[in-house]
Chain A
Amino acid sequence: MSSSTIAQTDSSLRPAKRRIGDTVFGGLSTLSGVSILVILAAVAIFLLAQALPALTTAPDVLAEQGYGEFWGWVLPFAFGTVWAAFLALLIAVPVSIGIALFISHYAPRRLAQSLGYLIDLLAAVPSVVYGLWGIFQLAPALQPAHLWLSKYLGWFPLFSGNPSGTGRTIFTTAFVLAVMILPIITSLCREVFLQTPRLHEEAALALGSTRWEMIRMAVFPFARAGIVSAIMLGLGRALGETMAVAMVLSGAGVIHFKVLTQQNPNSIAANIALNFPEAFGLRVNQLIASGLVLFIITLAVNILARWIVSRRAQYSGAN
């Protein structure tokens, strides 16, 4: 299929004899692409095979030997996963875009690269360390903020309820997650912003626009698809993050939107990590089945993202 594409593309550019180099190189890269599908299929088969017993066993047997009826059990965790990732994106996206803009368009040129390097360092910190930082530093530091928010903004549903005494809430977790996905979103956005055609920018400036107007008219439209892609990459990380959430969040199987209380909806990945070591029999299957649910959530998110991107104009190349 791909060879025909090559031929087509080639012929549209220039009619020529087929080149061995192209056949080999194209074949190799196609093979790599296919190998990814094979790996993924292997993972999916593994997941399905392991998850099946949990999905097919009768609920009363699951209640006896597992964690209880599957869908009722997994729903709060699915909610927690999405909720925590959403909150993290809420914090991280504006900041990341800001940083990326700062590096690409605001910072002095000489400094820009080193500053970009500085932000990349945030990605150098392993999640265990973020977990330790969250427990020992961020949670105690944010605890007064919990009290303040619940005292003055407690009428707002998000901040209602009894504030936690230790600060290990989804509020704190969202901050930790935001810091973790920040460098991922920033790095991609930065590269995309830097690739904005110079001519577009200069044209905007020549028409008398301010720097901000130039960014809005030339940079953002060009980078929109890239930004969405960057956000999705960050979201993937936030949805699947295990260790930091497991260490920081005081989680349980509950569903509510309050972000300051003791009991928070736990995430699927964290729940697997917390319970897998001691799990046995059907419980293992049930945990892996919840992994499958996480898989499907990511799938849904990605379909949505692709749809958003495809609704926008062609963005490959700079013309």
Chain B
Amino acid sequence: MSVTTNSSSKALNPLKAGQLPRWAPWAGLGLALIVGLVFGGMKVAASTLIAAAVFVVGMHVLSLYVEGRRRANDRLAQHIVYGMFMLALVPLVWVSWIAVKNGLARLDAPFFTYSMRNIVGEGGGAAHAIYGTLYVTGIATAISVPIGLLTAIYLAEYGGNSKLAKGITFFVDVMTGIPSIVAGLFAYALMALLFGPGTVNGIGGAIALSVLMIPVVVRSVEELLRIVPNELREAAYALGVPKWKTILSIVIPTAISGIVSGVILAIARVIGETAPLMVAAGFTQSLNNNPTQGQMMTLPVFVYDSYAHPGIPRQPYWDRAWAGALTLILIVMLLNLIGRVIAARFAPKAGR
């Protein structure tokens, strides 16, 4: 079917022989969508899948026939790459839509100003959990970023091929594999050891998160530092700039946008952790402003608890759970935005 379209187009444009006209992909897409709708019934997912398959295969065959193998492969790659991107948007849109749809019901002023102290059933809010999350994650970041960044610098700039560097690289890899719940148990045990049994507070939660966060920071920053062209370093050395200054004013700025993005991804990675915080930071219905004393509620724990242990009726608890989830997402988005702005302001002009 598609082959006939092509031969006619070929006949119409003798000058462009050996190349598909610009409208060909669009026509192919339309055709594929129709085929998808016909064979997929009225189901969105099935139709889209069939349409995508028909389009990619059809265009490839068509291009193979008209344009030859190399161009056909190029087209195939392009379509697949575009397709992958659109595929990734599906869960993104889906999850955000669900979170927004269910979360908006309770995303009101009381949600941010009330805690759950003395509240049963409707009403109440997550102020205690929001502040708790900010404290715990803030402290965790303050611990992890300096350690992580400096370690990455050591690995990429100083360590070279030394045994220590190899060992650290290896053990950072190992650290990424610590199950989050084990990190929580470790922090719990450490706090018990240092401050007596049953010590559960914000600092404990921050330690648990740091254990999870440090390797992520190291891994992503190291990778980025390594990829900064050696020419830049050598140029700096040639001008007599000391090594530490080269690192601070040449290497890091070159990679800054990636570093910020890596750090923020690391925060995002831990801010939603539930299991370790439940063990190490605890659980309370009241606001606690002191990370060194007393249990501290955090947003993920709040969300999980509201979902898992509702009273009757169930709805107000679920509304709070979704509102909490939405808030958590919004906090990370905000962080992300701040990071981007910083990165954009301080990064040197990129090559592309």
Quick one: which of A43, A179, A198 contacts B351, CB cutoff 8 A? Answer: A198
- A62 close to chain B: CB less than 8 A: no
Q: How close is A272's CB to chain B, nearest CB, in angstroms? A: 5
**Binding stretch for chain A, among B104-112, B197-205, B214-222:** B214-222
In the bound complex, do residue B88 and residue A269 qualify as a contact, i.e. CB atoms below 8 Å apart? no
**CA of A99 to CA of B12, assembled, Å:** 36
Binds B, one of A119-127, A150-158, A252-260: A119-127
- Identify B147's interface contact among A2, A35, A128, A194, CB under 8 A: A35
**Considering the chains assembled together, what is the distance between the CA atoms of A236 and B180 in angstroms?**
11
Instruction: Say yes or no: B154 contacts A2, CB within 8 Å.
Output: yes
Q: Does A165 contact B (CB under 8 A)?
A: no
Instruction: Tell me if A21 counts as interface (CB < 8 A to partner B).
Output: yes
Q: Which residues in A have their C-beta under 8 angstroms from that of B333? A: 121, 124
- CB neighbours (8 Å) of A31 from chain B are 150
Residues of A close to B122: CB separation below 8 A? none
In the complex, whether B117 has a CB less than 8 A from a CB of chain A is: no
In the complex, A103→B352 CA distance in Å? 12
Write out the residue numbers on chain A whose beta carbons fall within 8 Å of the beta carbon of B295. Answer: none
9-residue interface stretch from A53-61, A66-74, A208-216: A208-216
What's the minimum C-beta distance from B93 to chain A, rounded to whole angstroms? Answer: 10
A65 interface residue per 8 A CB criterion? no
Interface residues contributed by chain A, number (CB under 8 Å): 113
Q: Would you call A316 and B226 a contact (CB within 8 A)?
A: yes
Q: Taking the complex as formed, is B160 at the interface, i.e. its CB lies under 8 A from any CB of chain A? A: yes
Contact residues of B between 65 and 91, Cβ < 8 Å to A: 70-71, 73-74, 76-78, 80-85, 87-89, 91
Which of A31, A107, A115, A212 has the largest count of B CB atoms less than 10 A from its CB? Answer: A212
A315 touches which of B158, B226, B231, B321 (Cβ 8 Å): B226
Are B91 and A122 touching (Cβ within 8 A)? yes
CB 8 Å contact bits of B244-272 with A (1 = contact, 0 = none): 11010000000000100110110011011
Q: Is B179 a contact partner of A268 (Cβ separation < 8 A)?
A: yes
Would B164 and A2 count as touching, CB distance under 8 A? yes
Do B269 and A123 have beta carbons less than 8 Å apart?
A: yes
Which residue of the partner chain, among B76, B77, B157, B274, contacts A127 with CB atoms under 8 Å?
Answer: B274
Interface residue A182 (Cβ < 8 Å from any Cβ of B): yes
Known interface pairs A129-B328, A302-B170; A242-B179 also in contact (CB < 8 Å): yes
Please name the residue on chain B nearest to A133 by beta carbon. B95
A221 at interface, CB cutoff 8 A: no
Q: How far is the CA of A232 from the CA of B162 in the complex (A)?
A: 23
The verdict on B139 contacting chain A, using a C-beta distance below 8 Å, is no
A193 to chain B, nearest CB (A): 10
- Among the listed A5, A47, A118, A240, which residue makes an inter-chain contact with B92, where contact means beta carbons less than 8 Å apart? A118
B273 contacts across to A, CB distance below 8 A: 126-127
Q: Does B346 contact A (CB under 8 A)?
A: no
A206 is an interface residue with CB less than 8 A from chain B: no
Q: Is B131 an interface residue (CB 8 A)?
A: no
Contact: B71 with A291, CB < 8 Å? no
- One of B176, B216, B244, B275 near A22 (C-beta < 8 A): B244
Q: What residues of chain B lie closer than 8 Å to A317, measured between beta carbons? A: 226-231, 233
7 extra interchain contacts, Cβ-Cβ under 8 A, other than A1-B163, A42-B186, A101-B81? A29-B154, A36-B168, A36-B214, A39-B214, A236-B176, A240-B176, A273-B181
Could you write out 12 A-B pairs with CB less than 8 Å apart? A2-B154, A9-B243, A98-B80, A102-B85, A115-B85, A120-B265, A120-B268, A124-B329, A126-B274, A187-B265, A212-B77, A291-B182
